[in-house]
Amino acid sequence: MAKPHVSDTNLNRRKFIQYGSLAVGSTIVAACTGGGSGPSESADLGEDPIKVGVMYSTTGTIAIVEKSLQDATFLAIEQINTGTGPWEANGAGIAGKKIEKVVVNPDSNWDLYNQMSKRLIDEDQVVCVLGCYTSASRKSVLPVFEEKDAILYYPVYYEGNECSSNVFYTGAAPNQQITDSIPYCYENFGPKGFFIGSDYIYPKESNRIAKAELEKAGGTVVGDEYAALGTTEFITIINKIKAAKPDFVLSNLVGDSIPAFYRQFKDAGITSDDIPIMAYPTTEEEIQAMGPEYSTGHYTSFNYFQTVDTPENKAFVEQFKAMFGKGRVTNGVMEAAYLQTFFMAQAMKKILEEGGELTPGNIREATRGQEFDAPQGKVKIDPDNYHTYLYSRIGKWKEDGQAEIVFATDAAVKPIAWSQTLYKGRVCEHTTPDDRSDPTKETGKDLEPVFL
Amino acid sequence: MLAFDPSSVFLSTYLLAQEEAEAVAEGGFDIVTLLNQALNGVGIVGILLLTGLGLAITFGVMRIINLAHGEFIMLGAYVTFVFQDAFGMDLLMTIPFAFLVTAIIGAVVELTIIRRLYGNPLETLLATWGLSIVLQGVVKLIFTAQLKYVKAPPYLSGNLPLLSDDAGGALISISYYRMFIIAVALALLGLTMYLFYKTSWGRQIRAVTQNRDMAKCLGVNTKLVDMGTFAYGCGLAGVAGAVISALKTVAPPMGQDYLVDAWMVVVTGGVDKLIGVLAGSLLIGEANAVIAFILNDPTARVIVLAAVIVLIRYRPEGLFTIQKRS
């Protein structure tokens, strides 16, 4: 910053070092202490607990989402340790052993994810890690997990085009979110789509796949705009939308940009009847923050909504609210963070009951093919590509901030890691047992949708 | 002055726009969209002006490198949230409280931290940076990291159509809420200028910033003046937070977004004259709007930031500064 009068400052080197180290130190302390306050930290974990890393940012721009993922993970761990909820039949703990969570907070900083995952694996010697939200953070830790052959459970819908022997993907692959929602938009709203997103890997890749899907269906993309992560000023993008007169908007904005966009969209005089918004990252939680009056009539495509009618979901919502407060809502990413913790626990239980060791190799083999009655319905880890069979649903937001489900598959859909519109016939098949060789295979054929 | 600017543009181009409106082709670069964008720029200017004004006081007048400015905006937004949530107040009613609470916090900060660091700009920078981390942390501890919902006043929803097509659909329009933001920003700028240039408190402030020792000799209570001025600057940031809370997102890190913009505005406009903040926000807001329209938002931000850096290289005092002897 321009500061013409600094020449007379009495700052000397020693003082600079003093204050400088103080400032740096306080930032590190702030970054490291933010997440260590789980609800059951003081609970007795018995002898020889299983150490599991929990890696979500509770500070920084993406904390808004990742904190709720952490909450859902804590709820699942609590239920496993006490033998309640879906874990009731298995008794407290995993074959008698409790989970000890090792919580780190990477402060929304992609490099810190990398460092902290190294720390979790090398120093804390955790058995596996639950964590990450953005694709940027996953890409940042991927080399660490592959090099050290450790296991990461990743709970987020993402752009696909990835297949690792060290990651279990429990969020939606493109064919469980984009493949159904784009034809839905084409048929119900019209052929012209305007695509927007935050400026990083996931929204760009996701929009690229969606563009291919829309063109395949016969529609066109009349605009493609990105805003820096954390942007809350959308007046220009909205004006471009007005000028392009699309039939619908596809939004891949994430985080704190979401409420600002919906509010300014309505404030600019565009109603959901004029131009409906189809979104992927907009969930119950963002709707609650923007106020349902701004979202009514818009759409979201996700595997899970709080209104999904299953007994498992009723219990999940109740238990979540009991633990974190009545005012809270549940959403799809939280549900994925919740269900993947049970996949992990089931795999560990299987290994321990067979008298095995909790090595990454054993966990990998045991997790493949696990099934679980999740809040969204029955789901399963695909033994071939380590993604998850999930339901595909589209919700229309109502005035109470909850979704009316207007489209749903009858059963969980088999995940396909690669977008078939962009990479026709490319699939991912890990060997059994997994020797960590390249799993990518080109079949060159159209893949038929497979249901669980 | 600002408010009339776009309408005079309309008058001169009204006929042209009317013709164009009838021949509006799908998409493309038509004049109506461009005019709309110029008007949108005014909306951005309003927010820049509002968020930059507090910094124009704490940095422009007091020369405090205040990196916690964004957090005072955030605090204002949270005050609005709390008063709405607890007492069901209308957003407009919460504005005075946002001012008062942030001003009081500002006074406490001045008393405990800033006061000890006058004349040490670098240490002030580090202290306020630390303060911003602390304030974010405290807010997160109290309110959690979740986004918060602030209700916009229903009577400010809707748009004012400035130009309509034959069917009565608005071609060029500005939302009432954006107009409200501009009005609040201009009113606060006017009030602040009045306070600074027409009242004895303002004269005392200027005397203290120009020659502290002399002012002290002449019987000015410099400590009180410092505290009052800093508190006023923080209070303005609080008002900004309250007003924008219904259009943007309320969350602990929200202030960071406005900090850089506020600094650009103040530095570009020049730190000596309060009117500079209006010039700075006009320039940056409109430049941003036009470049973002032609290219895209992230690129516009890069270009504008680069332009500001070039500008302060050649005019470190900013655009609107009278030359004076040091």
d(CA A248, CA B161): 23
* Residues of chain B with C-beta less than 8 angstroms from the C-beta of A5: 63, 121
Angle between helices B31-55 and B275-294 in degrees, nearest 10: 140
Mean pLDDT of A39-47: 60
The letter for the amino acid at B117 is: L
Q: Is B26 on the interface with A (CB under 8 A)?
A: yes
d(CA A311, CA A373): 10
- Restricting to B residues 185-244, those with a Cβ less than 8 Å away from any Cβ of A are none
- B188 has pLDDT over 90: yes
d(CA A103, CA A54): 5
Q: Is residue B26 part of a domain?
A: no
* Residues of chain B with C-beta less than 8 angstroms from the C-beta of A232: 248-249, 254, 257
- A31 has pLDDT over 60: no
Q: Is B304 on the interface with A (CB under 8 A)?
A: no
Q: Is B169 on the interface with A (CB under 8 A)?
A: no
Q: How confident is the model at residue A389 (pLDDT cuts 50, 70, 90)?
A: very high
**Of residues B43, B65, B170, nearest to A1 (C-beta):** B65
- A362 has pLDDT over 90: yes
The CA distance from B296 to the nearest CA of chain A, in Å, is 7
Contact criterion met (CB below 8 Å) for A391 and A408: yes
d(CA A159, CA A204): 9
d(CA B274, CA A347): 66
Q: How confident is the model at residue A141 (pLDDT cuts 50, 70, 90)?
A: very high
Q: What's the pLDDT at A13?
A: 53
- Domain carrying residue B307: 45-249+257-314
Using DSSP's 3-state secondary structure scheme, residue B152 falls into coil
Q: Is B276 on the interface with A (CB under 8 A)?
A: no
d(CA B184, CA B46): 8
Q: Is residue B39 part of a domain?
A: no
What is the domain count for chain B? 1
For the stretch A278-303, what's the b/e string if a residue is b when 16 or more beta carbons lie within 10 angstroms of its beta carbon?
bbbbbbbbbbbbbbbebbbebbbbbb
Q: What's the pLDDT at A23?
A: 53
Angle between helices B275-294 and B254-269 in degrees, nearest 10: 110
More confident position, A12 or A133: A133
- A444 has pLDDT over 90: no
> DSSP label at A8?
G
Q: What's the pLDDT at A131?
A: 94
CA nearest to A282, candidates A310, A264, A260: A260
- A28 has pLDDT over 60: no
Mean pLDDT of A66-81: 93
Q: What's the pLDDT at B143?
A: 87
- A411 has pLDDT over 70: yes
> DSSP label at A94?
B
> Which phi and psi angles does A428 have, rounded to 5°?
-130, 120
- Tell me the two tokens of residue B2: 């600002």
- Tell me the two tokens of residue A235: 């007046």
The mean pLDDT of chain B is: 83
Q: What's the pLDDT at B59?
A: 87
Q: List the CATH code of the domain at A22-172+304-389+423-452.
A: 3.40.50.2300
Q: Is residue B36 part of a domain?
A: no
Mean pLDDT of A20-49: 54
Mean pLDDT of A102-109: 91
Q: Is B137 on the interface with A (CB under 8 A)?
A: yes
Interface test with B, best of A21, A239, A324 (most B CBs within 10 A): A239
d(CA A156, CA A301): 14
Q: What's the pLDDT at B248?
A: 87
DSSP string for residues in A376-432? TEEEEE-TTTS-EEB--EEEEE-TTS-EEEEEE-SSPBPP-SS-TTTSTTEEE---S
Q: Is residue B28 part of a domain?
A: no
CA nearest to A76, candidates A436, A391, A413, A335: A335
Q: What's the pLDDT at A96?
A: 87
- B130 has pLDDT over 80: yes
- Tell me the two tokens of residue B160: 């004012």
> Which residues lie across from A97 on neighbouring strands?
A94
Tell me if B152 and A263 make a contact (CB, 8 A cut-off).
Answer: yes
Residues of chain A with CATH 3.40.50.2300: 22-172+304-389+423-452, 178-279
| pLDDT one-digit tens code per residue, A323-355 | 998 889 999 999 999 999 999 999 999 999 999
Mean pLDDT of A300-322: 94
Report the run of H or E that residue A197 belongs to, with start and end.
strand A192-198
Q: Is residue B106 part of a domain?
A: yes
CATH class of A178-279: alpha beta
Q: Is B302 on the interface with A (CB under 8 A)?
A: no
d(CA A207, CA A190): 17
Q: What's the pLDDT at B153?
A: 87
- B118 has pLDDT over 50: yes
DSSP string for residues in B155-222? GG-SEEEEEE-TTS-EEEEEEHHHHHHHHHHHHHHHHHHHHHHHSHHHHHHHHHHH-HHHHHHTT--H
Q: What's the pLDDT at B11?
A: 44
- A34 has pLDDT over 80: no
Q: How would you classify the pairing of strands A377-381 and A248-252?
A: unpaired
- Tell me the two tokens of residue A210: 């969606």
| pLDDT one-digit tens code per residue, B66-80 | 999 999 999 999 999
Q: How confident is the model at residue A19 (pLDDT cuts 50, 70, 90)?
A: low
The CA distance from B313 to the nearest CA of chain A, in Å, is 9
Q: Is residue B319 part of a domain?
A: no
| pLDDT one-digit tens code per residue, B80-99 | 999 998 998 898 999 999 99
**Of residues A22, A230, A269, nearest to B257 (C-beta):** A230
* Residues of chain A with C-beta less than 8 angstroms from the C-beta of B148: 289
- B107 has pLDDT over 70: yes
Tell me if A10 and B119 make a contact (CB, 8 A cut-off).
Answer: yes
Q: What's the pLDDT at B13?
A: 44
ipTM of the complex in this document: 0.79
Q: How confident is the model at residue A11 (pLDDT cuts 50, 70, 90)?
A: very low
- A372 has pLDDT over 60: yes
d(CA A104, CA A120): 8
Percent of chain A with pLDDT over 70: 90
Q: What CATH number is given to the structural domain containing B50?
A: 1.10.3470
CA nearest to B109, candidates B84, B134, B144: B134
The CA distance from A21 to the nearest CA of chain B, in Å, is 10
- A174 has pLDDT over 70: yes
Mean pLDDT of B160-185: 81
Going across the sheet that includes A388-389, the strands are A371-374, A377-381, A388-389
Q: What's the pLDDT at A423?
A: 86
**Of residues B121, B146, B256, nearest to A6 (C-beta):** B121
- A255 has pLDDT over 70: yes
> Which phi and psi angles does A424 have, rounded to 5°?
-65, 125
Q: What's the pLDDT at A190?
A: 94
Q: Is B9 on the interface with A (CB under 8 A)?
A: no
Tell me if B123 and A19 make a contact (CB, 8 A cut-off).
Answer: yes
Report the run of H or E that residue A131 belongs to, with start and end.
strand A128-131
Q: What's the pLDDT at B12?
A: 44
Q: What's the pLDDT at A45?
A: 76
The mean pLDDT of chain A is: 87
Give the A:B interface size as CB pairs under 8 Å: 170
- A233 has pLDDT over 70: yes
Going across the sheet that includes A50-55, the strands are A99-104, A50-55, A128-131, A152-154, A167-169
More confident position, B131 or A37: B131
Tell me if A9 and B121 make a contact (CB, 8 A cut-off).
Answer: yes
Q: Which pairs from A430-433 meet CB under 8 Å and 24+ separation? A: A430/A163, A430/A165, A430/A368, A430/A383, A430/A384, A430/A385, A430/A386, A432/A368, A432/A383, A433/A361, A433/A365
d(CA B88, CA B56): 33
More confident position, A392 or B297: A392
Count CA within 13 A, CB hemisphere, residue B129.
14
The letter for the amino acid at A48 is: D
| pLDDT one-digit tens code per residue, B195-229 | 988 999 899 988 888 888 888 898 888 889 999 99
Q: What's the pLDDT at A380?
A: 94
- B9 has pLDDT over 80: no
Q: How confident is the model at residue B18 (pLDDT cuts 50, 70, 90)?
A: very low
- A264 has pLDDT over 50: yes
Cβ neighbors of A377 (< 8 A, separation 6 or more) are A308, A310, A312, A391, A411, A412
- Tell me the two tokens of residue A246: 């699309």
Contact criterion met (CB below 8 Å) for B60 and B274: yes
How many other CB atoms are found less than 10 A from the CB of residue B192? 21
Q: What's the pLDDT at A15?
A: 55
d(CA A272, CA A279): 13
